Amino acid sequence: MAKQPNLYAFGDIDRLAKSLRKYLLQCQSTGFERHNTFKVAVSGGSLPKTLAKALLAPSDKNGSLDFSKWEIFFADERAVPLDHEDSNYKLLKDELLDKIPADLGKPVVHPIDVQYMDDVQEMADQYQDVIMKSFAAKDSVKLPIFDLLLLGCGPDGQACSWLPGKELLRESDAWVAPIEDSPKPPAKRITLTLPVVTHGAKIAFVATGDGKRDILRQILDTEEGRSLPCGLVNEGGADRVSWFTDTAAVEGVSFPRRGSL
Ligand SMILES: O=C(O)[C@H](O)[C@@H](O)[C@H](O)[C@H](O)COP(=O)(O)O
């Protein structure tokens, strides 16, 4: 049987955050062993809040975090100033970055370059350069391997800023692509492309609440769901993909759940 994503369902967000922390610590260790850094890409939406719950909890027996060796990229970002309410950078900064205790170190964070705000193609190219510099030249590395990509799942099956059925999902060359017409505002964005995401060492989705129930049923239990953006990540990432959900989000989903990490 083909390798499947891992589906975890927790009674509430606190329990989810506890397991997510354990998972993050495991991914951090693998990254440190691999290249003495932890390279992670993060999306926006409701994810940063849950992520902060997981990362700002006190150290436990599962280990501690060393943010001084973290490099944080954005899996997708909106073309707005970094202090704008719609900015994924601002969201992550407010929820997490500003609250990291000094003794855990400071991560290197890669926000978009806002001087290219009016030209999202330029902005995407420039962000690709930033990734290239971190992962070595694009010509010598066909695709970067992020240690972890942390993603949300939109109510329409959106992952990153990919819209269901759009040409962008077939992009096979660029690492970062522009979007001019996102129906979820703001319209202008940049996003990592599907091959970059499915090439990640680990990929985690966080999806909670009953608002995600119908789309999770579709993504995980139906044939059509496989061609939705989140379904394509499941397909390409197989057992490197993990879904952190709560019971409200997976009620009625028959896809097999894993007991624990
Ligand atoms: O900037 C964005 O819009 C996000 O990166 C997007 O991919 C988001 O993560 C999902 O749409 C889920 O959003 P919610 O968790 O808010 O439903």
| Nearby residues of 189 by Cβ (< 8 Å), 6 or more positions away | 76, 77, 78, 79, 120, 161, 178, 179, 182
pLDDT beneath 70: ranges in the chain: 1, 137-140
Q: Nearest C-alpha to atom 1 of ligand 1 is from which residue? A: 44
Determine if ligand 1 sits within 6 Å of the CB of residue 182: no
Look up the ipTM and state it.
0.97
At 244, list the tokens: 């952190």
**Ligand 1 atom having least distance to the Cα of 182:** 3
State whether the beta carbon of 45 lies less than 6 angstroms from ligand 1: yes
Residue 139: the pLDDT is 61
49 lines ligand 1 (CB under 6 A): no
Pocket flag, ligand 1, residue 245 (CB < 6 Å):
no
Q: Please name the CATH architecture into which domain 6-57+65-250 falls.
A: 3-Layer(aba) Sandwich (3.40)
Distance 49 CA to ligand 1 centre (A): 12
Predicted pLDDT of residue 74: 98
In short, whether 88's Cβ falls inside 6 Å of ligand 1 is yes
Whose CA is closest to atom 13 on ligand 1?
Answer: 45
What is the spatial distance between Cα 66 and Cα 32, in angstroms, rounded to a whole number? 10
Q: What is the pLDDT of residue 137?
A: 62
Provide the pLDDT for residue 40.
98
Q: Is the CB of 158 under 6 A from ligand 1?
A: yes
Ligand 1 centroid distance, CA of 156 (Å): 10
Cα of 61 vs centre of ligand 1, distance in Å, is 32
pTM of the model: 0.96
